[in-house]
C-alpha cells in the first residue's frame, strides 16, 4: 500500500504545518484549563511568535492568543505593521482580535474553525484590514473537537 | 460677578472630573508624539487604572489606552470582569477596544468625541457587551481639538 503522503508533497513551510503548531498551542491551553485556542505568526516561513489563550492565567480579559502573538511579533520585528506576515489561529478571531489584526495590517489570516457565538464574521466582515487575505477551515474539525471537549468538561 | 461654578455643584466624584483625568492622559500622549487618547477606569469612585495610547512608544499595535487600562484594572482588582467599573476615554473605542470591553463586561463607558473613521459605532453597536451602558459627548470639543492639532502637525 502506498503511503498516504509522498515526501515530495510534504513541506515544513506549509499552512498545514504552521496550523499544526497553532493546534499544539491550543492543546497546551487546554491542559492549563484555558479555552483552547492557539496562534502562530509566520514571517517569510519563519515562526516569529507563538501564543495560546491565557485569560485565566494572566487574569486579563485581553489575553487572547492572537493579541499576545501580535504584540510579540511586532516586538520581534521592531515594527507595528505585520503586512508581510501570516497569522494561523485555531478559532475564528473575535472583534477584539480582528480589530488588532486591522491595526497590525496583518497580510494573511488562516483560521481553523468558525466561532458561531463571537466570531468577527457575525459582526462586520470589514473589521479586518481591507488588504488582509482571510481563509478558513484548515484543521477545523480537530480545533472544534478540542473546544467542544473543553466546554463539555466545564459543564 | 458670581463665580461660574458654585462649590455646591462641584464633586471630584463626577463624570466631569474623571473625564478631565482622561484628557490629561491624552495630553501626555500628545506630548509623546502619540495619537492623543487617554483612558481612566473608575471603581466605586476610585481611579484604579489610567493609561494613554502608547502604540509608538511600545511599538505595539494593540497598545491603545483602553486596552492598557483594562489589563491594568483587571490586574488591580484580581478579576477579569469589570462590571462594577466605568471607563472614561477621550475617543470612541475602535472595534478592538470595544471587543476588549465586551470581554471585561465593563459596566459603563463614557467617551468624549466620536471617531468617524474607526469608531466601533461604524461597524456594529453590538460589539459592546449588552449590559454595558454607553454615553458620549463629555469634553467632546476639547478631545477633538487635541486630535485635530495632532494630525495637523503630522501633515
Among A7-11, A99-103, B95-99, which is the least confidently predicted range? A7-11
Which residue in chain B has the smallest CA separation from A71?
B60
Looking at beta carbons, which residues of chain A come within 8 Å of B55? 80, 103
Residue A38 pairs in a beta bridge with A52
Helix/strand/coil for B33: coil
> In degrees, to the nearest 5, what angle opens at C-alpha B14 toward C-alphas B79 and B82?
10
B90: left (phi over 0), alpha (psi -120 to 50) or beta: alpha
Whether residue A103 and residue B96 make contact (CB cut-off 8 A), yes or no, is yes
Q: Which three cell numbers stand for residue A119?
A: 466570531
CA distance A139 to A19: 7
pLDDT tens for each residue of A122-135: 887 689 999 999 99
Q: How close is the nearest chain B Cα to the Cα of A86, in Å? A: 16
pLDDT tens for each residue of B118-149: 999 988 768 999 999 999 999 999 999 999 99
pTM beyond cutoff 0.90? yes
B67 contacts chain A (CB < 8 A): yes
Q: How close is the nearest chain B Cα to the Cα of A9, in Å? A: 37
A130 contacts chain B (CB < 8 A): no
CA distance B84 to B74: 12
In this prediction, residue B1 carries a pLDDT of: 53
pLDDT tens for each residue of B53-88: 999 999 999 999 999 999 999 999 999 999 999 999
Grid-cell match 467632546, residue found: B140
Among A23, A102, A135, A70, which residue's Cα sits nearest to residue B127?
A102
Q: Which three cell numbers stand for residue B89?
A: 476615554
B33 contacts chain A (CB < 8 A): no
First to last CA, chain A: 44
CA distance B72 to A72: 19
Identify the band that residue B10 occupies on the pLDDT scale cut at 50, 70 and 90.
Answer: low
Whether residue A61 and residue B75 make contact (CB cut-off 8 A), yes or no, is no
Among B109, B92, B62, B90, which residue's Cα sits nearest to residue A98?
B62
How many A-B residue pairs are in contact by the CB < 8 A criterion?
105
A79 contacts chain B (CB < 8 A): yes
ipTM at complex level: 0.91
Looking at beta carbons, which residues of chain B come within 8 Å of A95? 95-96, 98-99, 102, 120, 123-124, 127
B97 contacts chain A (CB < 8 A): yes
Q: Which three cell numbers stand for residue A42?
A: 509566520
Amino acid at each position: 500500500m502506498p503511503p498516504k503522503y509522498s515526501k515530495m508533497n510534504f513541506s515544513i513551510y506549509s499552512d498545514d504545518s504552521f496550523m499544526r503548531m497553532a493546534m499544539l498551542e491550543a492543546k497546551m491551553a487546554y491542559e492549563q484549563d484555558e479555552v483552547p485556542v492557539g496562534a502562530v505568526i509566520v514571517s517569510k516561513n519563519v515562526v516569529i511568535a507563538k501564543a495560546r489563550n491565557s485569560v485565566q492565567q494572566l487574569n486579563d480579559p485581553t489575553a487572547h492568543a492572537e493579541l499576545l502573538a501580535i504584540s510579540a511579533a511586532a516586538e520581534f520585528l521592531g515594527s507595528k505593521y505585520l503586512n508581510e506576515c501570516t497569522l494561523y489561529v485555531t478559532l475564528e478571531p473575535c472583534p477584539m482580535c480582528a480589530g488588532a489584526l486591522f491595526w497590525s495590517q496583518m497580510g494573511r489570516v488562516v483560521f481553523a474553525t468558525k466561532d458561531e457565538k463571537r466570531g468577527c464574521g457575525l459582526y462586520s466582515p470589514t473589521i479586518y484590514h481591507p488588504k488582509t487575505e482571510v481563509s478558513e477551515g484548515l484543521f477545523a474539525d480537530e480545533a472544534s473537537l478540542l473546544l467542544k471537549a473543553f466546554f463539555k468538561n466545564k459543564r
